[in-house]
Amino acid sequence: MINHLIVGPLLLPLFMGTMIILNTNQPIARRRILGLFSCLAVLVITILLLFQSADGPIQTYVLGDWPTPFGIVMVLDRLSAMMLCITALLSLLCLAYAARGTDRQGKNFHALFQFQLLGINGAFLTGDIFNLFVFFEIMLLSSYGLVLHGGGGLRTRAGMHYVMLNLVGSSIFLVGVGILYALLGTLNMADLAVRMAQAPAENAALLQAAGLILFAVFALKAALLPLCFWLPDAYGFTSAPVAALFAVMTKVGVYVILRVYCLIFSDFAGVGAGLLTAWLLPAALITLAAGAAGVAGSRDLRRITAYLVIMSVGSLLAVIGTFQREAIAAAIVYLPHTTFMTAAMFLVADLVGRQRPDAGTGLVPDRPVGQPTLLGLLFLTAAVAIGGLPPLSGFVAKVMMLTTVKDSAGAPWIWGLVLGGGLLTLMALGRAGSVIFWKLLPADDPGTGRETTPVPVYTPADLFPAVILLVISPLLVVFGGMITEFAFAAADHVINPVHYIEAVLGPDRSFPLLLSSGGE
């Protein structure tokens, strides 16, 4: 029995994106309705899928009914169902925010947005490593358009760096995939895992090289330290709803690292076993430190938020880098929190920036803000959640991450850097908040000697996407027990490749894995 809902998150954005292109020269309301309808429908489908997978087995969708491993297969396990759900909710809110005016700056915003969702959802669902490349490219090509949306010299420059780096990344990805195919003769990820376990020792060096080449590509997507310098410019200069949506794009890199290195290069993988244990944790910790330095050193709220994205990737991958079931569960709890809160911060920063016409989001004192109390409260909530203070979700998730890694060898480093980074974040956000909201002159102060420009006054319709994103944070705490149980169940499926392989290839096909680990 095939569950056709699984391809819904792919087909619906594809179809709606095409419909939106056909309506390019119609009034913008029609494109908005089509786009919002698509996001809403995908959200409903992904919530259904999430509940199905929460207490069900790993489901597969075999395109064209070609037998695996020869045909293309989509795989839905708990982790990918959760990622789909996060993406759908975030995209709906970002699109609702964009529909308040950002989408007027270019005709194809809504179409690109749908294709972006197609790429992201595809990367979460695919069970085939070449298809992963194809969905990455769909995701990237739409993101190139979205980064440049609205135009301007700064966006063009940042966008050019982003495009060139990712083109190099795509080439390298193909080299890694080529080596894997040449040596193992398959592209299906479950089949790759089985054949990796059986690979002869003389191919060990090449297979490990392929694994590390792929890691470089995924690290570029996730923005790990030597490969993260594109992110502050690209996220800092692009329009706010796009930056908020991109908060989930770096998580695609995190998801793929978790998927590939717990499946193909798992502990059972023979010559490829434990490939990343020496690399991931140090790289993630350095990224975390660099992100914290960037947060502390930035003079602009948008840039601070962009560095917060780097910090969140660093903390996630540092915890994942221990490759233990409990730690991965904690990372799965932290992931929705950090995605939604950085996205909320991008939106709040944009709301603040639009009410400060001559300073924008820059940390310049003595500038009027149109609605300081309202925006100040939103900013405070976002800052408390991101900084990891009780009672919001950041605190709970961070405590869980720190307690689960306390027995691993890298624990002192993880504790020190996560807590130190949190302190720097709080100081930077506290400084930003006090400069923007406390050192302000009233808008009509005659002593400033400046022309007062009229600023937009926000109605609930402008604010609700950011408010809903912030409301998610206490909800993550209230339903914390359920989420934690789900995270442990998801981590069970992620850390043990046997479940995935048997779901895709059929029972007993994971036998070589057990054999190779028994033989060591």
Site residues for other proteins per CB under 8 A: 130, 133-134, 137, 141, 144, 148, 151-153, 156-157, 159-161, 163-164, 167-168, 170-171, 174-175, 177-179, 181-182, 187
* Closest separation in Å from C-beta 127 to other proteins: 17
**C-beta closer to other proteins: residue 133 or 235:** 133
Q: In whole angstroms, what is the distance from residue 452 CA to residue 474 CA?
A: 38
Identify the DSSP state of 126. B
Tokens representing residue 417 in the block: 């850097």
* Closest separation in Å from C-beta 177 to other proteins: 8
Three-state DSSP class for residue 380? helix
Rg (C-alpha) for the chain, rounded Å, is 23
**C-beta closer to other proteins: residue 148 or 285:** 148
* Residues 230 and 161 sit within 8 Å (Cβ to Cβ): yes
**C-beta closer to other proteins: residue 182 or 515:** 182
* Closest separation in Å from C-beta 174 to other proteins: 5
**C-beta closer to other proteins: residue 163 or 471:** 163
**C-beta closer to other proteins: residue 181 or 279:** 181
Per the omega criterion (within 30 degrees of 0), is the bond before 13 cis? no
**C-beta closer to other proteins: residue 145 or 433:** 145
DSSP lists the bridge partners of residue 59 as: 76
**C-beta closer to other proteins: residue 47 or 160:** 160
* Residues 442 and 455 sit within 8 Å (Cβ to Cβ): no
SS (HEC) of 482-497? HHHHHHHHHHHHHHCH
Contacts 24+ apart (CB under 8 A), 144-149: 145/108, 145/112, 146/109, 146/112, 146/113, 146/116, 146/238, 146/242, 146/245, 146/246, 147/234, 147/238, 147/242, 148/238, 149/102, 149/105, 149/106, 149/109, 149/112, 149/238, 149/239, 149/242
**C-beta closer to other proteins: residue 133 or 346:** 133
214 Cβ partners below 8 Å, 6+ apart?
A: 173, 176, 177, 180, 260
* Closest separation in Å from C-beta 140 to other proteins: 8
* Closest separation in Å from C-beta 181 to other proteins: 5
Exposure on the CB side of residue 332, measured as CA atoms within 13 A: 29
* Closest separation in Å from C-beta 389 to other proteins: 39
**C-beta closer to other proteins: residue 105 or 453:** 105
* Closest separation in Å from C-beta 196 to other proteins: 16
Nearest to 424 by CA among 310, 342, 308, 250: 308
* Closest separation in Å from C-beta 254 to other proteins: 24
* Closest separation in Å from C-beta 234 to other proteins: 13
Tokens representing residue 295 in the block: 């947060």
Angle at 74 between CA 73 and CA 80, to 5 degrees: 150
Q: In whole angstroms, what is the distance from residue 471 CA to residue 482 CA?
A: 17
* Closest separation in Å from C-beta 8 to other proteins: 24
Q: In whole angstroms, what is the distance from residue 109 CA to residue 440 CA?
A: 35
**C-beta closer to other proteins: residue 38 or 68:** 68
